[in-house]
């Protein structure tokens, strides 16, 4: 006996929330490590934040908006619009990842290495950890596009899209949090 | 279905549960072997043993064990036991097999994720074992891997090179596997219960797996942070944990500003909750077994649930009691101390409820019941010393002595193992259709019960006498000379206790084919794993000796009594 689809939808959300709880704990642990390591440290050098970071933030925000639009289109049953918006959201996500790599290069060119100062190490670690989570999200979105092309998604089968969008928004908020953390404590 | 899909890369919760159990079974015998070798060395430090030379030509040349080899065995013993035995069997092993059965679900919520979590854990185990075979051998810095020594590489000792790196990678993988498992457990329990199985009708076992999964979710995510930072300090030249001016083996290191205490915070924020991940599933099993074999409902079901949650919650705010002598601010030490002692309250509630459960019952003293009673005994004996260790003034003496070794072995090591045995005897008929041998079981139980007390109670005395832990050789210190006899006694008791475990191993495999046949519900228990395709649940999990009922038990899926 297969569980009913309502149960599956609920389970997908519960699984997502549980996963997000552990991601939040990871970044909470990361943040408190930063705070403790910075407190009273005489060796702490500020990280020169590249301006590119604002551009990246804008791209990620746009991606979130597109994903939300796509999700609503799918709920209304407008598959054509969904496909376009969803693909655009995914592309913007990939653009963000590309720009992140550029950001790391700029930092490197400015002389910030993993081993040069611990503030830079925290910056790299935090942004790389975020990027890994984002790459996972982007992969899931591509997989959902693939399913959409095969006409496997619709208003009655949209749990995957809903869950992925929620996760995507979460990563956006997490990014804003990280930028704030580094801006106030590391820049 | 091909053999591979069915038994190896299976997504079936029962197969995965058994896979976890067998992994833990293999790991526990490796861990026992190391402990026997360590005890042998402590009592006979000069002995020349061919086997040692054959196994570890570099660190036991001539057959005499070097201190480095001793420390690497100790590290691997602790790591294997805590992670791959005590976290693996009670939670992932029994939990996977019995959660769906006890709540009336077809399988876990995410079967593929479930398979992945097992394989991640297995790879973690193989990576850990690989540490023995690389240059320098296994790491030396204990299961807690404190920096600086764990972070500076091979200049700190032979195993601190690649061996320690493999250790960190293994633990990070283990964290990932446990997180996947926790997500699955939580979702399954919240969303896949059969009709009528309200939360307060769940067996305490299910509650205990749920609480342990919640703890895992929050604790392992933080350990990953500690692991990653440690790895970066080792491999990327960062200074998260390495302070300025470190002089190791006559080399001045270039690091600056790092804080070794930071690692201890990250580690113990995970480490104390971890001890509850280990013990809480055991509490669930023991509650059930005591109730079934006393033919009485669990006393104070609701209090038991609340106690488990408060233990889980409090467990997250007491980690500082492992750092009383690490240079903690004395004011925070007081706070940690008060919170630590507060855990005694829910622990005592559970203990009193276990005793009240069996009080006046019609006790059926079979082997599963004996292990459960043994668990309660050990939990009390080990918990009482926690009240001593939880006070900063006393702990400044006890810390890093054998008193601590006695404490955590009784309450965490052996108590959890007793719960695993209780669960094994109790559920064996469900898994194989046959009973385990009661005769072998009784011998195994009594020798083990006397054995573990014989091993770990004397350790408290050694600790009181100032005997430090994590030393490879006591014979060199005058003030420990008087303890030689005591240590010999411990060593020989340990040999006996280890040997009798082979009886269990034999029984476990022998009875799969040759054990006495068991019926559908051999213990006359009430929970759903003993029921036939339960369609709905109509009552709580512990309806034994219900007044006015015809039978002395009513199953959860029965409509009328
Ligand atoms: C009333 C309950 C308990 C109290 C007050 C308590 C207190 C303590 C304290 C203060 C220490 C640190 C001693 C030191 O290193 O100097 C300690 C160590 C330890 N405890 Fe407990 N404990 C309690 C229950 C438990 C339980 C239930 C477990 C496991 C299931 C456990 C497992 C351990 C372990 C593994 C260590 C040693 C860690 C190490 O340093 O390697 N304890 N306990
Ligand atoms: Cu603790």
The rounded Cα B240 to chain-centroid distance in angstroms is 30
pLDDT of residue B533: 85
Above 90 in pLDDT, residue B6?
no
Residue A157, beta-bridge partner list: A154
| Protein residues within 5 Å, CB atom, of ion ligand 2 | B 272
C-alpha span between A116 and A108 (Å, rounded): 10
Q: Which listed ligand is nearest to B390 at the C-alpha?
A: 1
C-alpha span between B412 and B17 (Å, rounded): 22
Above 50 in pLDDT, residue B167?
yes
- Predicted model pTM: 0.95
* Any ligand 1 atom below 6 A from CB of B314: no
Confidence of residue B300 (pLDDT cuts 50, 70, 90): very high
Taking residue B489's Cβ as centre, other Cβ atoms within 10 Å add up to: 14
Give per-residue pLDDT as tens, B320-371: 999 999 988 889 999 999 999 999 999 999 999 999 999 999 999 999 999 9
Q: Which residues of A touch B187 (CB under 8 A)?
A: 11, 14-15, 18
Mean of the per-residue pLDDT values of chain B: 95
Give per-residue pLDDT as tens, A20-49: 999 999 999 999 999 999 997 888 988 998
Q: How far apart are the first and last CA of chain A?
A: 56
Q: In chain A, what are the domain boundaries?
A: 4-186
Question: Could you say which DSSP state residue B333 is in?
Answer: H
C-alpha span between B442 and B548 (Å, rounded): 35
Residue that wins the pLDDT comparison between B98 and A1: B98
C-alpha span between B430 and A84 (Å, rounded): 53
Percent helix, strand and coil across chain B, each to the nearest 5: 70, 0, 30
Task: Identify the residue whose C-alpha is closest to ligand 1 atom 37.
Answer: B408
pLDDT of residue B1: 61
The rounded Cα B361 to chain-centroid distance in angstroms is 30
Contact A18 B183 (CB under 8 A): yes
> Candidates B145, B275, B326, B410: which one to mutate for ligand 1, based on the most atoms within 8 Å of Cβ?
B275
Above 80 in pLDDT, residue A1?
no
Give per-residue pLDDT as tens, A53-103: 999 999 999 999 999 999 999 999 999 999 999 999 999 999 999 999 999
Q: Which residues contact B292 (CB under 8 A, 6 or more apart)?
A: B426, B523, B524, B525, B526, B544
Mean of the per-residue pLDDT values of chain A: 94
The rounded Cα A71 to chain-centroid distance in angstroms is 17
CATH, domain range A4-186: 1.20.120.80
Architecture of domain B9-245+253-530: Up-down Bundle (1.20)
Above 50 in pLDDT, residue B219?
yes
What ipTM did this prediction achieve? 0.95
Rounded percentage of chain B residues whose pLDDT exceeds 70: 100
B222 vs A25, A41, A115: nearest CB: A25
B237 vs A19, A28, A114: nearest CB: A114
Confidence of residue B540 (pLDDT cuts 50, 70, 90): very high
Please give the average per-residue pLDDT across B102-129, as a whole number: 97
Rounded to 5°, the CA angle B187-B191-B193 comes to: 120
* Any ligand 1 atom below 6 A from CB of B144: yes
Q: Decide: helix, strand or coil at residue B78.
A: helix
Per the CB < 8 A criterion, the answer to whether B230 and B148 are in contact is no
pLDDT of residue B550: 84
Question: Could you say which DSSP state residue B401 is in?
Answer: B
Residue B434, beta-bridge partner list: B517
C-alpha span between B162 and B134 (Å, rounded): 7
Above 70 in pLDDT, residue A4?
no
């Amino acid at each position: 006996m297969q569980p009913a689809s309502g149960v599956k939808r609920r389970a997908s959300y519960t699984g997502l929330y549980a996963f997000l709880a552990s991601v939040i704990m990871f970044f909470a642990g990361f943040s408190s490590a930063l705070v403790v390591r910075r407190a009273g440290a005489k060796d702490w050098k500020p990280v020169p934040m590249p301006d590119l970071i604002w551009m990246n933030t804008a791209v990620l925000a746009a991606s979130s908006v597109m994903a939300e639009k796509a999700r609503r289109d799918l709920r209304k049953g407008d598959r054509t619009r969904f496909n376009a918006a969803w693909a655009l959201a995914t592309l913007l996500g990939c653009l963000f990842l590309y720009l992140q790599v550029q950001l790391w290069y700029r930092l490197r060119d400015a002389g910030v290495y993993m081993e040069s100062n611990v503030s830079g190490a925290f910056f790299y670690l935090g942004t790389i950890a975020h990027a890994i989570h984002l790459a996972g999200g982007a992969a899931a979105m591509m997989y959902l596009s693939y399913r959409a092309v095969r006409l496997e998604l619709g208003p009655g089968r949209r749990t995957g899209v809903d869950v992925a969008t929620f996760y995507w928004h979460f990563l956006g908020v997490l990014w804003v949090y990280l930028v704030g953390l580094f801006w106030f404590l590391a820049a | 279905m091909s053999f591979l899909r069915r038994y190896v890369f299976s997504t079936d919760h029962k197969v995965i549960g058994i896979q976890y159990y067998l992994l833990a079974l293999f790991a526990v015998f490796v861990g026992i072997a190391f402990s026997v070798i360590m005890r042998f060395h402590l009592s006979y430090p000069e002995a020349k043993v061919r086997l040692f030379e054959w196994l570890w030509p570099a660190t036991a040349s001539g057959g005499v064990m070097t201190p480095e080899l001793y420390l690497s065995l100790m590290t691997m013993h602790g790591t294997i036991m805590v992670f791959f035995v005590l976290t693996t069997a009670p939670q992932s092993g029994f939990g996977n097999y019995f959660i769906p059965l006890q709540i009336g679900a077809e399988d876990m919520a995410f079967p593929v994720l479930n398979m992945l979590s097992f394989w991640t854990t297995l790879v973690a185990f193989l990576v850990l074992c690989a540490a023995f075979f690389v240059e320098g051998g296994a790491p030396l810095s204990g299961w807690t891997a404190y920096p600086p020594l764990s972070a500076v590489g091979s200049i700190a000792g032979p195993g601190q090179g690649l061996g320690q790196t493999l250790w960190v990678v293994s633990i990070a993988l283990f964290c990932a596997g446990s997180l996947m498992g926790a997500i699955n457990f939580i979702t399954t329990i919240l969303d896949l219960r059969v009709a009528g199985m309200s939360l307060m009708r769940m067996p305490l076992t299910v509650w205990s797996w749920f609480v342990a999964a919640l703890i895992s979710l929050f604790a392992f995510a933080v350990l990953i942070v500690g692991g990653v930072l440690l790895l970066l300090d080792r491999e990327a030249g960062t200074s998260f944990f390495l302070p300025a001016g470190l002089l190791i083996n006559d080399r001045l290191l270039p690091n600056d500003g790092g804080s070794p205490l930071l690692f201890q915070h990250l580690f113990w924020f995970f480490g104390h909750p971890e001890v509850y991940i280990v013990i809480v599933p055991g509490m669930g099993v023991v509650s059930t077994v005591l109730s079934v074999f006393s033919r009485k409902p669990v006393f104070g079901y609701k209090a038991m649930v609340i106690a488990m949650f408060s233990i889980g919650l409090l467990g997250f705010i007491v980690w500082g009691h492992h750092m009383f002598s690490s240079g903690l601010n004395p004011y925070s030490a007081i706070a940690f101390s008060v919170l630590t002692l507060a855990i005694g309250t829910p622990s005592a509630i559970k203990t009193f409820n276990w005793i009240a459960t069996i009080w006046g019952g019609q006790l059926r003293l079979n082997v599963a019941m004996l292990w459960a009673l043994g668990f309660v005994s050990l939990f009390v004996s080990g918990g009482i010393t926690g009240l001593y260790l939880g006070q900063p003034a006393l702990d400044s003496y006890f810390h890093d002595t054998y008193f601590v070794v006695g404490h955590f072995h009784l309450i965490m090591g052996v108590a959890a193992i007793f719960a695993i045995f209780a669960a094994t005897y109790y559920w064996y008929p469900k898994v194989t259709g046959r009973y385990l041998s009661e005769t072998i079981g009784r011998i195994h139980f009594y020798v083990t019960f006397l054995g573990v007390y014989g091993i770990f109670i004397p350790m408290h005395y050694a600790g009181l006498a100032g005997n430090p832990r994590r030393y490879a050789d006591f014979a060199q210190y005058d003030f420990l000379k008087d303890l030689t006899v005591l240590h010999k006694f411990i060593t020989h008791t340990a040999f006996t206790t280890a040997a009798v475990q082979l009886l269990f191993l034999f029984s476990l495999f022998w009875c799969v084919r040759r054990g006495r046949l068991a019926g559908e519900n051999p213990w006359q228990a009430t929970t759903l794993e003993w029921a036939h395709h339960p369609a709905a649940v109509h009552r709580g999990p512990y309806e034994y000796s219900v007044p006015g009922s015809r039978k002395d038990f009513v199953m959860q899926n029965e409509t009328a009594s």
